[in-house]
A and B are shown apart, each in its own frame.
Chain A
């Protein structure tokens, strides 16, 4: 990673402990990331049956109409999700960063809410609100005599995904906008520029790197998502095709692997594109004593318009949650704008039957978070504070997990570990531990960033002071580095935990029995049948509350700790 290279390191030689740490982490990454991913790629290039290297599978793929269509659909849905996500995020980002707008904090907070619920959960609620016979269309039809096909086919996927993922654009764009120094704008005004022209020529170009980072992330997320299209019954997209091939045709069918490779390539390509676009463009220009862009008060007419637009957008963004809540409390909700009656029966049923899902989720997500913090913290320390051989490779490999979609990792685990049997005869691939490992690997890149940030906050002179006073390296880590990193490590843990708690794609491939299933899987199973929707929605509400509570709690703890330590941010 670029910033890792910039850290001056002042160590003479690697200690045995460091080498052991490198070896252990390398083994972990090899078994649970490199080998499964490598197996998938290798299988895609081998002939079925003979095992000879070939590209015939890819030729088959591109000759098949269904796959051509799926490829096109995936690209189209991802691109349109970026477009709609931008249309939602841009006004919100501009309003909150450029104007004195009372709802700013509300927007910044609400912007995160979609992220603590997997998109597919909202999808069912969205059907009920925006579907052909959903609330909005029923009302439209009654009053105006027409319907809008929000949820028809690919539209539905685009609608759900852009509402779900726009915060990635919002957060990145807002940060970029906030990092523009006030003088950048003032200099333009001083030279005669104002209004929209100033925004177009100066402000937006300066925020461009942030926008691109957010947009490419949305593209990749949507491209890789498996559960949302499946639940909306859209099968002609790449990720669902990969899943269906492997689960229905079988583990030996090469098409699942070919699609996996294509998913990986597109992920890497999108990330590469945004990296290229951002190269040498650190436009963060805030100067000491400068401050961000000036905010101006809204005029009366503007305020009315702004509140109108924001209100509408927030209503849209929250509609999956509102719908889910209604659904979880509804007796029957079909062909009517609102449910016929309300009940708490779904909650009692979920708590009675499905507490297992909740327990499993807590175990899996905590373990995954713990693994991420330990591995991420160790890699961060090795990269930033030692010169041990192979540390950059560890960093690189852990980060590479970003490019492996969940469905691909799931397929890789099945392929790699299915042949290995446990003593009782069941294949290793179906052991619940594999789900934990898949979740840990998927979340590792994010946890790693958090660990880097936490360690970079600890000035090296603090360690040197401890060593100067006679502490060994190990004791310095234990008594100085770890205590000071706690806040950052906790932040990393929570990020991993809360996203792992609602992740489905790899889980969907690996879970074989209901007793091992986490909430996300249970949700998916419930949501498949009309009768299961009520309990499914109740489970979804519980998941949202659980994740939100954990996030808030950790935020509070981290803030308080940072304050007592006198560290900023």
Chain B
């Protein structure tokens, strides 16, 4: 793979922005996409993240032209595309199943889109070679899809899409059919390729680790709505609501209610005493306390920390850390303690307390 093929097979000219405005989509009575608004920058690697059935794939298929919105606009590179049929959109999509045609060789699969564009034979051949070269599969050009491994099929699907020099690239769960080891390898390759082509790319996944490691920014979906848009770190550090906090990383969520006002506000954790809420923290109506497992310590009360009583309920030895389940009031909190050689572990049943800095806690509502 080298730099000079960048303009041989890849994006045409400058990367395109994607602008989605007020998109609503229904399956019959079911409201599947609700008021979707999104700005994706040129050349950005963007993820749609969410649990299954959240609408992320539906939106992707809408952009590709396989679903139809009742209202809204999708503008790519300044052109509204919603009224175009899929075959006029010039949007490359890699399908979850790869959708390689079993009756054609790898080379014919890759050539298909170019032939549909009625390019000259020599030109088709040149671009097929360039695309296969780009994904490192030139030597398998005459194979049938069934003779390839999952990872190779995935690359053929990618080469087939890139060969037409799409305006933007859509990836529908591209790693879900690969085994765990391949997944890590392929996602790095995907990132590299995207950087090299400078192609605006949308990546649909339900796996937060994939989204975090590959993408510049992430839109978190739930129940047909975008919950929050941000960088991986931004979403983890400053989730907008309980769903995002819970979906990205592990979060302890404690029920309770706010008492007092002004600088004397406190949060009463159900059945486990209360802690002060730092000044200036915005606590929405019906908020719960959110704390990541690594921010609390067991049995240690440092200066500036607050504490709640608890009892060790269970423990899991993970190597670098020990994950304790601590019964605090009616909830079981997960708390990670770093493990050092020679440490002894706390026994379940033991009464203790947990301490944490109020600043590391978040108060979030649904």
Instruction: Decide: A192 near B103, CB < 8 A? Known: A183-B95, A187-B95, A287-B97.
Output: no
Q: Is B354 close to A, CB under 8 A? A: no
Q: Are A187 and B103 CB-contacts (below 8 A) given A192-B116, A193-B116, A194-B87? A: no
Contact A290 B97 (CB under 8 A): yes
How far is it, in angstroms, between the C-alpha of A183 and the C-alpha of B95 when the chains are bound?
7
A397 CA to B93 CA, complexed, in Å: 50
Query: Given the complex, which residues of A lie within 8 Å of B161, measured CB to CB?
Result: 190-191
**Residues on the A chain within 8 Å of B91, using CB:** 190
Q: What is the bound-complex CA distance between A231 and B146, given in angstroms?
A: 49
- The answer, yes or no, to whether B236 is at the interface (CB within 8 Å) is no
Q: How far is B112's CA from A184's CA once the two chains are assembled, in angstroms?
A: 12
List residues of chain A with CB within 8 A of the CB of B113.
Answer: 191-193
Complex CA–CA separation, A190 to B112 (angstroms): 11
Q: Does A186 contact B (CB under 8 A)?
A: yes
Is B64 at the interface (CB under 8 A from chain A)? Answer: yes
CB contacts under 8 Å to B, within A452-476, are none
A49-57, A199-207, A302-310, A483-491: which lies at the B interface?
Answer: A199-207
B128 to chain A, nearest CB (A): 13
- Contacting A at CB under 8 A, from B61-77, are 64-66
In the complex, the 4 A-B pairs of residues with the closest C-beta atoms, listed nearest first: A191-B113, A183-B99, A187-B99, A189-B86
Check if A206 sits within 8 Å of B117, measured CB to CB: no
Residue on B nearest A185 in the bound complex, by CB: B99
Question: Is A181 part of the binding interface, using a Cβ–Cβ cutoff of 8 Å?
Answer: yes
CA distance A202 to B103 in the complex (A): 8
> In the docked arrangement, what's the CA distance between A126 and B309, Å?
92
B103→A283 contact, CB < 8 A:
yes
Q: What separation, in Å, do the CA atoms of A188 and B86 have in the docked complex?
A: 9
Is A554's beta carbon under 8 Å from chain B? no
Assess A206 versus B92: contact at CB under 8 Å? Given A181-B97, A189-B65, A191-B116.
no
Is A15 among interface residues, defined by CB-CB distance under 8 A?
Answer: no
- Given contacts A186-B66, A186-B95, A194 and B102 within 8 Å (CB-CB): no
Cα A180 to Cα B47 in complex, Å, equals 29
Known A-B contacts A191-B112, A194-B85; A205 and B99 likewise in contact (beta carbons under 8 Å) = no
Report B178 CB to chain A, min CB distance, Å: 15
Residues of B within 8 Å of A206, CB to CB, are 101-103
In-complex Cβ contact of B102 among A183, A187, A191, A281 (8 A): A281
Could you tell me the distance between the alpha carbons of A201 and B99 in the complex, rounded to whole angstroms?
14
**A286 vs chain B, min Cβ distance (A):** 9
Checking B64, B96, B97, B103 against A190 with a beta-carbon cut-off of 8 angstroms, the contacting residue is: B64
Contact B116 A281 (CB under 8 A): no
- Across the interface, do B92 and A190 meet the contact criterion of CB distance under 8 Å? yes
Q: Is the CB of B97 within 8 A of A193?
A: no
Judge whether B112 and A193 touch: CB under 8 Å. yes
Q: Whole-angstrom distance from the CB of B61 to the nearest CB of chain A?
A: 8
Bound-state CA distance A181–B146 (Å) is 15
Does A280 sit at the interface, judged by CB under 8 A?
yes
Of A188, A189, A193, A197, most buried by chain B (CB within 10 Å of CB) is: A189
B288 at the interface (CB under 8 A from A): no
Contact indicator B101/A192 (Cβ below 8 Å)? no
Q: How far is the CA of A184 from the CA of B164 in the complex (A)?
A: 17
B123 to chain A, nearest CB (A): 15
State A181–B65 Cα separation when bound (angstroms): 17
B114 to chain A, nearest CB (A): 8
Chain B residues near A189 (CB, 8 Å)? 65-66, 85-87
- Expressed in whole angstroms, the minimum distance between the Cβ of B36 and any Cβ of chain A is 21
Given A189-B85, A192-B116, answer yes or no on A283-B97 (Cβ-Cβ < 8 Å): no
Which of B92, B95, B146 touches A280 (beta carbons < 8 Å)? Answer: B146
Tell me if A251 is interfacial: C-beta within 8 Å of chain B.
no
| A208 on the B face (CB < 8 A) | yes
A336 within 8 A of B: no
Which residues on the B side are within 8 Å of A184 (C-beta)?
99, 101
Residue of A193, A205, A287 touching B87 (CB-CB under 8 A): A193
In the complex, whether A39 has a CB less than 8 A from a CB of chain B is no
18 pairs, A vs B, C-beta closer than 8 Å: A181-B97, A183-B95, A186-B95, A188-B116, A189-B66, A189-B87, A190-B64, A190-B86, A190-B93, A191-B161, A192-B90, A192-B113, A192-B116, A194-B87, A205-B103, A283-B102, A285-B97, A285-B99
Is A187 within 8 A of B85, CB to CB? no
Q: Does B127 contact A (CB under 8 A)?
A: no
Cβ-based interface call for B160 (8 A): yes
Interface residues of B in 315-349 (CB under 8 A from A): none
- With known contacts A190-B64, A193-B112, A201-B112, A181–B99 Cβ distance under 8 A: yes
Is the Cβ of B97 less than 8 Å from the Cβ of A192? no
The winner among B64, B86, B93 for most chain A CB atoms within 10 A is B86
Q: CB-CB < 8 A to A281: which residues of B?
A: 102-103
Is A191 a contact of B164 with CB atoms below 8 Å?
A: yes
Residue among A190, A280, A294 with the highest chain B CB neighbour number at 10 A: A190
Q: Add 14 more A-B contacts to A192-B113, A285-B97 (CB < 8 A).
A: A183-B95, A184-B101, A186-B86, A186-B99, A189-B86, A190-B65, A190-B87, A190-B89, A192-B116, A193-B112, A193-B116, A201-B112, A205-B101, A206-B103
A192 with B85: in contact, given A183-B97, A290-B97 (CB under 8 Å)? no
Closest residue of chain A to B108, judged by CB? A201
CB distance from A509 to the nearest CB of B (A): 44
Expressed in whole angstroms, the Cα–Cα distance for A411 and B161 within the complex equals: 61
Q: Which residues of chain A come closer than 8 Å to B116, judged between CB atoms? A: 188, 191-193, 197
Q: A183-B99, A186-B66, A283-B102 are in contact. Are A191 and B85 (CB under 8 A)?
A: no
With both beta carbons as reference points, the residue of chain B lying nearest to A284 in the complex is identified as B102
Instruction: List residues of chain A with CB within 8 A of the CB of B85.
Output: 189, 194
Interface residues of A in 120-161 (CB under 8 A from B): none
Nearest Cβ distance between residue A251 and chain B, in whole angstroms?
Answer: 50
**Alpha-carbon distance between A399 and B96 when the two chains are bound, in angstroms:** 40
Most A-side CB within 10 Å, residue of B90, B102, B164? B102
Residue ID in chain B nearest A202 by CB atoms: B101
Q: Are B103 and A191 in contact (CB under 8 A)?
A: no
CB B257 to nearest CB in A, in angstroms, measures: 42
CA distance A201 to B112 in the complex (A): 9
Binary per-residue interface labels of chain B (161-192) against chain A in the complex, 1 for a CB within 8 Å, 0 otherwise = 10010000000000000000000000000000
Contacts of B97 in A (CB 8 A): 181, 183, 285, 287, 290
Nearest chain B residue, comparing its CB with the CB of A288:
B97
